[in-house]
Amino acid sequence: MSTEAQAVCSVAQSDDFVREVATASGANLAICLQCRKCSCGCPVAARSDLKPHEIVRLVQLGERDGVLASRMIWECTSCETCATRCPQNVDIPAMMDALRQASRAAKKTAATTTVPVFNDIFLRTVRRLGRMYEAGLMASYKLRTFRFFEDMDKVPLMLRKRKIALLPHKVRGGAERKRLFDRAKDMEGKSR
């Protein structure tokens, strides 16, 4: 079978994955022209393992494991340049969000990233306090990722420059907030 024929066959077999990602993200992945405009403007394409147009193609081809384990979905900065410049209006940032969630659900997340840990701590802080609490966030993040010394030289500077508060600011409405987070978790049917 020619490479092209193989590709056509694998597209036929890959319907599930592409449909799953398209449904979760609302992005119309089938209309990508592979023009690479997304990758040309992407700030992290040069350093990552896959480029945005490659991710789209691999999703079309049903390469579930390769996509979900890629570093790219965790190195994408959500800068929206790809979506802004795409001549076909493919919502690549929404696709990335859907892939991040699928990657975590499938426990395929690249070992190199600490973004999921950061996201979890961030959202837990918002659930509990209503607002971000940088000092607490950083302490929890460092404990979970064993990055105790990274940026520790910045702490005195940031305190002196009044950039971090030592105590959290708690907003009223804690019970409603917890209910919102719990309901969102139930409705989306996944653990967080």
Q: Enumerate residues 51-90 that contact other proteins by CB under 8 A.
A: 75, 77-81, 83-84
User: Should residue 128 be labelled a site residue for other proteins when binding is judged by CB under 8 A?
Assistant: no
Distance spanning both ends of the chain, measured CA to CA: 44
User: Should residue 154 be labelled a site residue for other proteins when binding is judged by CB under 8 A?
Assistant: yes
Nearest 5°: phi and psi at 124?
-65, -40
Looking at beta carbons only, is 1 or 46 nearer to other proteins? 46
Region from 1-9, 51-59, 61-69, 123-131 binding other proteins, contact rule CB under 8 A: 123-131
User: Should residue 31 be labelled a site residue for other proteins when binding is judged by CB under 8 A?
Assistant: no
Looking at beta carbons only, is 13 or 169 nearer to other proteins? 169
Contacts of 30-33 with CB under 8 Å at 24 or more apart are 30/60, 31/88, 31/90, 32/56, 32/57, 32/60, 32/88, 32/90, 33/87, 33/88
Full 3-state SS string of 87-109: CCCCCHHHHHHHHHHHHHHCCCC
Region from 8-16, 28-36, 61-69, 158-166 binding other proteins, contact rule CB under 8 A: 158-166
Region from 10-18, 51-59, 62-70, 127-135 binding other proteins, contact rule CB under 8 A: 127-135
- Taking the C-alpha atoms of residue 12 and residue 143, their distance in angstroms, rounded to an integer, is 46
Distances (CA, A) of 164 to 75, 125, 138: 26, 16, 11
List interacting residues with other proteins (CB under 8 A). 43-44, 47, 75, 77-81, 83-84, 93, 97, 100-101, 113-115, 118-120, 122-123, 126, 130-132, 134, 138, 141, 150-151, 154, 157-158, 161-165, 169, 171-173, 176-177, 179-181, 183-185, 187-188, 192
